[in-house]
Amino acid sequence: MLRIALVGCGFFAQNQLHGWEDLDGIEVVALCDRDRARLDAMGDAFRIARRYTDAAEMFADGGFDAVDIATTVSSHRALVEMAADAGLHVICQKPFAQTLTDARHMVEAVERAGKTLMVHENFRWQLPVRAVIEALRGGAIGTPFFGRVSFRSAYDVFSGQPYLAEGERFIIEDLGIHILDISRALFGDVDRITATTRRVNPRIRGEDVATMLLSHASGVTSVVDCSYATRRMPETFPETLIEIDGTGGVLRLDVGYRLTIQKDGGTESRDVSPPLLPWAEKPWHNIQESVAIIQRHFTECLRAGTQPETSGRDNLQTLALVEAAYRSAAEARSVDPGEL
C-alpha cells in the first residue's frame, strides 16, 4: 500500500483525489489546505479524516510515503523542500517553480533525499496525445522534420480559476508550458526558440495569444501556438491539435480526437477519444483522464525504482523553454534556452 498526502484542495485537486481512488494499492491518508472550509469540504467528500491547515505540521506527523502538491506555484519550493527533508516522494503541479533557480534547488533537494520527483505535466499523458507519441516513436511516418502543436480556444478558463486573469504572465506560463512539453515529448529538446505574444482580452493582465517557433536538436522544426482568444464554432476546448510531416508520411490529430496517418500505402484513420470516466465530465474529461494516467505512471515508477518521464530534472528543460519564450517575445530575438 502506497500512502499519499495531498496539499491543496482547490479547483483541480478533486481530479487528483478521484485519480488516486481509481488506483489499486493507493490510499490518500491526509489532506492539507490553509482554507478550513475548503479542506473540510474535500475531506468530507473523499472520507479523509486527517486534515491540516499547516503543511509543516502534516509533514512532522508523517505516516505517508509520498506527497501530491496541488497548490499554486508560489508555494511549491517550500513544500517540495519540506517533503524532501521528510524523506518523501513528490508529485508536484505545474508550473513547477517560479524561477529556474528555484526549480534546480527543488530537484537537487529531492535527489539528495534519494526520492523520486515528478512534475504533474499531464497534457503529454492525454490518451489522444499518447497515441500520437507512440505512433511517431514507432516509426509510423519515418523520420519527422516538421510539426505543429496547437491549442486555440475562447473557453472561459477564468471563471473557475480567476487568479489566471491577474498575473503579468498568462498563456505561455499556464497553457503554453503544456504544449511546449508535448513538442519536447514528440521531437526532443530545443536549441532555439522565437516567440511572439499578444493580449486580446482587455480584462486580463497577461498575454492570451502566443506563437512560438522551435528548432529542435533532432533537426525538427516545430510551431507551438496557443490562444484563449480564438472564437471557434464549435468550441474545441480542451483539445490539442497536432500535425507532423515525416519522411514516410503525414500524421494528424484533428478535432474530435481523430488520428489520421497518411503514407504511400494508403490512409489509416481512427478514433482516439478519451473515455468518460465515472467521475469526469465533458469537455474536461480529456484532462481529467490524463490525471489518472500520470498518477499511474508515477506509482509504477516508484515501485520499479525508475525515473518518471516528466521527472523534475526533465521538467527543467520545459521550464527553460517557457523562460526563453518570454525573453524572446520581450527582446524580439531568437533565444537559446541554454542561455538560462
pLDDT higher than threshold 90 for residue 265: no
Show which of 95, 115, 135 is a domain's final residue.
115
Averaged confidence pLDDT in the chain: 97
Residue 59 maps to which CATH number? 3.40.50.720
pLDDT range class, residue 177, cuts 50, 70, 90: very high
Residues 322 and 207 in one domain: yes
Kindly state whether residues 102 and 147 are assigned to the same domain.
no
Q: Are residues 168 and 31 in the same domain?
A: no
CATH number at residue 145: 3.30.360.10
By residue range, what is the domain housing residue 149? 124-339
pTM: 0.95
Structurally, the chain folds into a number of domains equal to 2
Question: Which residues sit opposite 305 in a β-bridge?
Answer: none
| Exposure of 262 in the CB half-sphere (CA atoms within 13 A) | 7
Task: Mark whether 132 and 70 lie in a shared domain.
Answer: no
Sheet holding 26-32, edge to edge: 50-52, 26-32, 2-7, 66-69, 89-93, 117-120
Residues 6+ positions from 10 with CB-CB distance below 8 Å:
33, 38, 70, 71, 72
pLDDT tens track for 35-67: 999 999 999 999 999 999 999 999 999 999 999
Q: What would the mean pLDDT of 203-228 be, rounded to a whole number?
A: 98
